Amino acid sequence: MKMKTLALVTSLVACSAVNAQWDSVVGGTSIIEGYDRYWVSVRSGGTVYLVDADTGEVEGTLYTSNFSPAIAPDLKNGKIYSYGAFYTRTEYGDRTDVVLEFDASTTEPIGEVEIPARSAGIGHPGMMGIINDKFIGVWNITPATTVSLVDTETDAFVAEVALPSCSGIYPLAQGWVSMCGDGTAQYIELNMAGQETRRVTSESFFDVFEDPVFDYAVPATDGWMYMSFEGLLRKVTFDGAAVNVTEPFDINPESNGTPDINGVFREDDDDWRIVGRQPFTFHDDEAILVTIMHEGGGQEVFEDPGTEIWGFNMKTGNRGYRIELEDGATASSVMMTPDEDPLLIVSTSIGMQVRDPRSGRLLRTVEMLEGGSIQSLYEGM
């Protein structure tokens, strides 16, 4: 009996030690009192870590699936949504796709809605969005491209919207914007029943064979920012009647032999390309653009990780800094937290880095969170 008791005590002590180590990664299980603008999510496999980037602490986790590239925070209603595909034999067998619903304060799953088994289980945060503060949109590819809609008020699948040769779900006005293979941006509007009411297409502004546009976009105050493989940045907006696209800003222009306003001569950096799963981030109010850069190769390296971070002052159009990542690290994703006084979040091969976006200065590194896609948890993004 003593030996059994000793074995039980030893087992409990070992489990406590393991759990203490695990909690240092996954965070505690206490109630989350609230999220602020510095909270972000980092996806790693089937786990989403909720991180306070201001402190570097992991505050909680969501358990999704290995085919869940995005979340959709709905914090004003106390929820976080995701989606995923599940197989009866883990990696194969009969497939079921669902939109997942989590309690934002406990991170516990509280519901799910089955959707057609066509969701894109790869990609980035642009594969999912909350539309009209009511519908969860999930991008599908089979290879036909569509969007599945789930009503968050009734927890029911309501419609599947055709989206031929277009990708991404970027909420705007009463619908969303997608980027299309014919070189256009398309706005799809919904009514409050989840039915499509109109579709507006921009003029063609890029050639998919010459200079494709990433299907990943980042928010601006009045629209969404898109970047091309060759480094041309444009804003897409909707004025109620037309989809408008701004003239491009070139992150890597050729030198014209004249100095900038600081007296610095620009050097041609023709061998550097913008890359990554989330290759750039933009902050409208602070007028900051940050990109991940890779040396060498052609357009085929667009999803490769990069070794440098470039920061631009969008008021002057000048590159303000150029940083080589330390210790041979590479970066795959970058984002800025919203609102005033933002933080720059960089997902690297050695952990999640938190930097000052104005200077690029490294503030802290959250280890064991390397290489995952990142999103803001704050309302307004």
The answer to whether 123 and 159 have CB atoms below 8 angstroms apart is no
Q: What is the reported pLDDT for 202?
A: 99
Taking residues 348-376, report their average pLDDT: 95
Nearest to 61 by CA among 109, 107, 30: 107
Does the pLDDT of residue 166 top 50, yes or no?
A: yes
- Give residues with Cβ within 8 angstroms of 332, minimum separation 6: 276, 277, 278, 292, 305, 306, 347, 348, 349, 371
How does strand 175-180 pair with strand 185-190?
antiparallel
Please tell me the pTM assigned to this model.
0.88
User: What is the distance between the alpha carbons of residues 107 and 171, in angstroms, rounded to a whole number?
Assistant: 24
pLDDT digits (tens, 9 = 90+) for 3-24: 333 333 333 333 333 333 334 4
**Which residue in 170, 120, 128 sits closest to 152, CA to CA?**
128
Residue 210 has pLDDT above 50, yes or no: yes
Measure the CA–CA gap between 168 and 95, rounded to whole angstroms: 23
| Token duo for residue 260 | 């900038």
* pLDDT band, very low/low/confident/very high, at 268 (cuts 50, 70, 90): low
Average of per-residue pLDDT across 177-189: 98
Please return the burial class of 9, using the count of CB atoms within 10 Å of its CB with bins 0-12, 13-18 and 19+.
exposed
Q: Label the pairing between strands 374-376 and 232-238.
A: unpaired
Q: What is the pLDDT of residue 243?
A: 99
Alpha-carbon 365 to chain mean position: 19
Q: Indicate the average pLDDT of the chain.
A: 90
In Å, how far are 13, 152, 329 from 198, measured between CA atoms? 62, 22, 46
- Identify any residues that bridge with 312 across adjacent strands, giving them in sequence order: 289, 319
- 109/155 Cα distance (integer angstroms): 14
In which band, very low, low, confident or very high, does the pLDDT at 367 lie, cut at 50, 70 and 90?
A: very high
Contact 192/134 with Cβ under 8 angstroms?
Answer: yes
Model confidence at 130, pLDDT cuts 50, 70, 90, reads very high
